[in-house]
Amino acid sequence: MAYGNGSDRSDLKRMADLGRAPLTDELRELRQKCLATVATMARAVWSDSVAAELPTGKQIDARLLPLQSRASKDGLNNVWAEKMRLLAKPAVLEQGKRRQRCLFGRLKHVDARGETPMKSGLRRLVSLPEEWTVRLADADVAALKALADGLDFRAAMALFRRLETDDAGLPEIQAAALRAMAEAVGQRFGCPEWGEDAILQLHIDYRCLRGRKERLAAVLGALTAAFAQGGPGQTSVDLAAPQPRGAAIRIPLQLPAPVAARFADCADQVVKALVLELGPETAAPKAVVLRKPRAPAIARQTVVLAEDFGFVNTSSLVVARCATGIVPEHVAFANSEPGKRATKEFLAGHVSGDEVEILERVQLSGRKFLDRIKVQAARIDQLRSEIDRGYNRLGRLKAEINRLAGREPTETVPVEPETVSASNSEQARYASMHGRFFRLLAGLGKLKARRRAIYRSVAGLKTSWFGHVANIRTRLADAYGAVVASEDLSFLAVEKKDPDYKGRTFNRMINNGSRGQYTRRADDKLDWRGIARILLPSYYTSSTDWRTGTVDKTQRKDAWFTAADGTRWDADLHAAETLARWLFLRPKPAGSPAL
């Protein structure tokens, strides 16, 4: 791929906008042909069997290369047909891995139940379709859980593959439940699709251009110079046509001064590659900018920006300065990944005082963000309930339709109605139920599309909020020339017993990738700006009085930290200040009481 071709793995990469323009007829034709080709390729290598062994990259290429050749013969320029093969292959592999991980996770948590009882009074088995909560006895659930506990990933997939042909030595009802689990996962993770609203990302190498290598090198060099000069800059490239030997498509590349200004902090950077994003209405060329890592050494730095990342307060930031600088031994200790006991001994044996100056405190409340997540979680719960009820009705209709047709209750209902009886009344009943079945199925598809849209909205909300928080942290660190210290932990949403608990859906929306999303965004920004960062042990930061070295969990209660002498801090800001002072701590004076 152009993004990393010929670059060192340690290189830092960013994309910079080079303008945006409406799609021309030629670009629209290219986009439509590429979307059709990549969809065909994905379907050709996609398996409907959830547990089927995933093919290797070479096996996928062996199946897709003939399709690439066929697409070229059907009128798509071979360079674009190859790009679609390289796009379809990782998409299929990743989707296959995701659905198998989901299936394995459901199997391992087959006994997990929802919080709110259903109308029957039972708490739903969340890893299975709803009807199985009623159909499975507690003994069946316990047996499936015991089975799952003894299986690793490979053995679990082998079990599900065997269940496709027989009961794998299980009681019939347990085998049917696991098949229903696999079917539900298969419906959730279908073949990758590129709809009409998809943004098609094309990595532009020299084969895509008129002028080949010489022209690409000249364009990349001109853009590199434009970034170095702070912009603006302007050039263009001629893309290969959608069809072989067609007229080239001219793409203007415009580097505005504001975009160049965002990259002005580093002279040692190059434009390595070009990317063209084709949306439904616009074309957006982008430059891939590479620079070398340049974070300074941490030891002896005099300013630390520390962050406590939390739940209600998304980020609590404290900037501290100490003239003597960061203690190298403390850096080595933190990098050794000490355990709880060693960390407690370290904090109990060190103190901090007026030699450390607090330059700034910033706290970013996430209450409005969490309230918006709560609203979306309620909508998801409502849709989930409607979808579950719809599938229950669908199951009853399916069983009755198959009974009238003389089939097994779980067989697939044919799209076209059949003649099932010489009786007009029976045939009319079958036709009515057949029509209701597919109308209901289409309605469920619309409900699931609405649910996916809400999840996308939540993902966008999290991206926006965490990006905002990351920008503030980066600006503060840049302004003070600070080393950034944060805890080495995972962000967990609020527990059930907490008064702020808002339900399972809410917790899942917060937990899914939250800490990882924020960490990636925030740390990538620091690395790009050349700001040093360090992870500190998370143990006892919320329960240590750094003035005396007192480590006592009772000092932290809810939103407050209260020291033994009655001094109170906001708990999150206190934790951030403990982290800010951590690298400046000095040994506790001799004769101080052991704590």
pLDDT digit string, tens, across residues 203-259: 999 999 988 899 999 999 999 999 998 888 899 999 999 998 889 999 999 999 999
pTM score of the predicted model: 0.73
What per-residue confidence (pLDDT) applies to 497? 53
Cα Rg, the chain, nearest whole Å: 30
Digit-coded pLDDT (tens) for 375-384: 888 888 888 8
Structure confidence at residue 586 as a pLDDT band (50, 70, 90) = very high
What per-residue confidence (pLDDT) applies to 594? 46
Structure confidence at residue 1 as a pLDDT band (50, 70, 90) = very low
303-368+469-587 belongs to CATH 2.60.40: no
Q: pLDDT: is 299 or 145 the higher one?
A: 145
State how far the Cα of 127 lies from the Cα of 134, in Å rounded to an integer. Answer: 13
Contacts of 500 (CB under 8 A, 6+ apart): 311, 312, 494
User: In terms of Cα–Cα distance, which of 105, 108, 128 is closest to 178?
Assistant: 128
Q: pLDDT: is 438 or 119 the higher one?
A: 438
**For the chain, percent of residues with pLDDT exceeding 90:** 59
| C-alpha distances in Å from residue 81, one per residue of 58, 86, 281 | 17, 9, 22
What per-residue confidence (pLDDT) applies to 5? 54
Query: Among 36-40, 111-115, 217-221, 471-475, which is the least confidently predicted range?
Result: 111-115
Digit-coded pLDDT (tens) for 526-541: 888 889 999 999 899 9
| C-alpha distances in Å from residue 70, one per residue of 58, 79, 82, 532 | 19, 13, 11, 51
User: In terms of Cα–Cα distance, which of 314, 311, 330, 236 is closest to 274?
Assistant: 236
- Give the tokens for residue 112: 């997990």
Examine residue 296 and say whether the peptide bond preceding it is cis (omega within 30 degrees of 0).
Answer: no
What per-residue confidence (pLDDT) applies to 495? 52
Digit-coded pLDDT (tens) for 265-281: 888 899 999 999 999 99
The residues with which 255 forms a beta bridge, in sequence order, are 233
Q: Which residue has the tokens 């309230």?
A: 371
Average pLDDT for residues 50-77, to the nearest whole number?
94
Instruction: Judge whether residue 86 has pLDDT over 90.
Output: yes
What per-residue confidence (pLDDT) applies to 388? 83
Instruction: Judge whether residue 498 has pLDDT over 60.
Output: no
The mean of the pLDDT values for the chain is: 88
State how far the Cα of 165 lies from the Cα of 162, in Å rounded to an integer. Answer: 6
Structure confidence at residue 513 as a pLDDT band (50, 70, 90) = low
